[in-house]
Structure 1
Amino acid sequence: MSLKNILPGRLGFGTAPLGNMFRAIPDDEARATVEAAWDHGIRYYDTAPFYGAGLAEERLGEVLAGKPRDEYVLSTKVGRVILDEHETDVPDFGEKGGLFEHGNPNKILHEWTADATERSIEGSLKRLGVDRLDIVWVHDIAQDFHGDAWLGKFEEARTGAFRVLSRLRDEGVIRAWGLGVNKTEPIELTLALDEPKPDGFLLAGRYTLLDHEHALSRLLPMAQEQGVDMVVGGPYSSGILAGGTHFEYQQAPAEIIERVGKLKTLAEKHGVGIKAAALQFSLAHPASAAVIPGATRPSRIAEDTAALNETVPAAFWTDLRAAGLVSPAAPLPNNA
């Protein structure tokens, strides 16, 4: 089923920050942020066991427990099983380093087999306090976590998670499945398979104002040809496009800071908010079904909602293209 027929709006809420990404967030602040998302009409919530070793799912579930289940769409991910025992060593998250060092102390089993997929879903349902999931993404079977071994993880998922999720979709247990990754290659490989076929994908950080050329060259034409939709994760490129200092989950390098400076200068010239430019750019591609920025403060939700609805003049997009700050092949809002 097309994601555009499932998702209730073009703005969703990504819960990675609720897993104490980068910093320890007080429970009341996390709770207030999710409540703010609900109050602003957001009805699509994406989470994952990996986010703080179950912490984000727990926090999200606590708020959603008081909401009618039929009124929102929920997605989580498989590939990580949260164990009852505590971690005693520093976990290895590949390029992502100490991303969730402030999360729950539980050990995480990184596995994409059929059995682990079933266990992962069972654990997510329990932490979220719900009886069903709408969308399930196969999480992080890519180079950023596994280096040269990523193809082996992909094969594990192809013969395990892919088949389980296809069966659950066919049985009506879930409505859709796909990949949730930070790299384009695993999705390209999946789209090249005869079977099984995903319904869509969650691509984080690869279709933003700062990084979109690679996705445009190969992945998105394949997706359009097959009628497969995209949820855009990380539209602010880990925060650098929203006033933060991180890019790709690390401190932003000088060349990125310089590029962001040029984007902001052009945005200020046209009286455009940089958040509005970021969200509306990511949604302009025909394959984009929704965008899911994350947040840890209620005020950020209001900013995101306003950014989505802000009127951005066509001249801004024209100047952006003329300045070489977006790819000539990138679809722009207002057909600029």
Structure 2
Amino acid sequence: MNLREILPARIGFGTAPLGNMFRAVPDDEAITTLNSAWDQGIRYYDSAPLYGAGLAEIRLGKLLSSKPRDSFVLSTKVGRVILDEVETGASDLGDKGTLFEYGRPNTIMHEWTAEATERSIENSLERLGVDRLDIVRVHDISQDFHGDITGAFRVLSRLRDEGTIKAWGLGVNLTEPIEITLALDEPRPDGFLLAGRYTLPDHEHALQRLLPMAEEQGVGTVVGGPYSSGVLVGGTHFEYADAPPAILEKVRRIKEICVRHGVGVKAAALQFSLAHPVSAAVIPGATKPSRVAEDLAALGEQIPAEFWRDLRENGMVSPQAPLPGGV
């Protein structure tokens, strides 16, 4: 099924920050933010067991378990099973490093087999307090597809064909796993979540191969991390680590152009990511109600064509990147 037929709007809510990403977020702050997002009309929520070792799903469940199930769209991920036992050492999160060091201390098992996939879904349903998922994504698989990735693919294809879920795909930070999957004859995923790879500061690589392949096959993409881990909006992180000097300089130049045209940087970021025909939605995260309001306002902000032309003429966006309004 086409992602745009499933998703209720072009903006959703990414719950990674509510898994205590980068910092310990108090429960009341997390719940207040989720309630505010709902009150402001957000009806698509994305989560994953990885986010705080189940913490984000638990917090999200406090909201969604009280709502009519048909009133929202929910996606989560498989590839990591959260165990009841407590991790005695540092969690091995691969390229995510210590990103969720403030999350729950539960042991995280990395596994993409059929059995682990089914167990992961069951555990997510329990944490979320719902009886079904709409979209399930295979989380953070590597370029060489280490382990029995096909087990997860088979389970998710079966669940989709049975009508248990509406769609499945990958949820990754790299373009290559998606390119490899799109090149397969079977199975056929419905769409992807690409985090941080189609943003104002970092989009050239995705434009070279991935997005043309996805467009040709009619496969949609949800853009995660549209603010590039926060560096675009005053943070210091890029790709979940300290932003390198080259990125900081590019962000500085982007912001200068925004100021020159009176354009909000959030508006520029969200509307750029959505301008590609493959983009079905963006899912910025938030830990404060005011941030949700800012995101929604940014989506509707009127941006003059001269701004996009200025970005392109100054080399801040690729000549191949589609821009809003067909600029």
TM-score interval (norm. to shorter): over 0.9
Residue 317 (structure 1) aligns with: 308
Give me the TM-score of the superposition, normalised by structure 1: 0.96
1:243 Cα deviation from its structure 2 partner: 1.4
The correspondence of residues 233-244 of structure 1 with structure 2, limited to 5 A, is 233-244=224-235
The number of residues matched between the two structures is 327
1:110-142 residue CA offsets vs partner (Å, 9 max, x unmatched): 000000000000000000000000000000002
Which SS does the other structure have where 1:17 is aligned?
helix
| Aligned amino acid, residue 204 of structure 1 | A
Residue 200 (structure 1) aligns with: 191
Residue 115 (structure 2) aligns with: 115
The correspondence of residues 219-298 of structure 1 with structure 2, limited to 5 A, is 219-298=210-289
Which SS does the other structure have where 2:144 is aligned?
helix
Q: Does structure 1 residue 156 correspond to structure 2 residue 145?
A: no
Q: Which runs of 4+ in 1 moved over 3 A?
A: none
Distance 1:331 1:36 in 2: 32
The correspondence of residues 211-226 of structure 1 with structure 2, limited to 5 A, is 211-226=202-217
Distance 1:119 1:96 in 2: 23
Q: Does structure 1 residue 170 correspond to structure 2 residue 161?
A: yes
Which SS does the other structure have where 2:170 is aligned?
strand
Distance 1:302 1:105 in 2: 32
1:19-60 residue CA offsets vs partner (Å, 9 max, x unmatched): 000000000000011111111111000000000000000000
Residue 307 (structure 1) aligns with: 298
1:96 Cα deviation from its structure 2 partner: 2.0
Residue 17 (structure 1) aligns with: 17
Residue 130 (structure 1) aligns with: 130
Q: Does structure 1 residue 88 correspond to structure 2 residue 80?
A: no
Q: Does structure 1 residue 184 correspond to structure 2 residue 175?
A: yes
Distance 2:188 2:68 in 1: 31
1:152 Cα deviation from its structure 2 partner: 4.2
| Aligned amino acid, residue 29 of structure 1 | E
Distance 2:95 2:126 in 1: 30
Which SS does the other structure have where 2:272 is aligned?
helix
Distance 1:126 1:95 in 2: 27
Distance 1:97 1:217 in 2: 28
1:151 Cα deviation from its structure 2 partner: 1.2
Which sections of structure 2, spanning at least 5 residues, go unmatched? none
The correspondence of residues 55-74 of structure 1 with structure 2, limited to 5 A, is 55-74=55-74
Distance 2:148 2:229 in 1: 28
Which sections of structure 1, spanning at least 5 residues, go unmatched? 143-149
1:67 Cα deviation from its structure 2 partner: 1.4
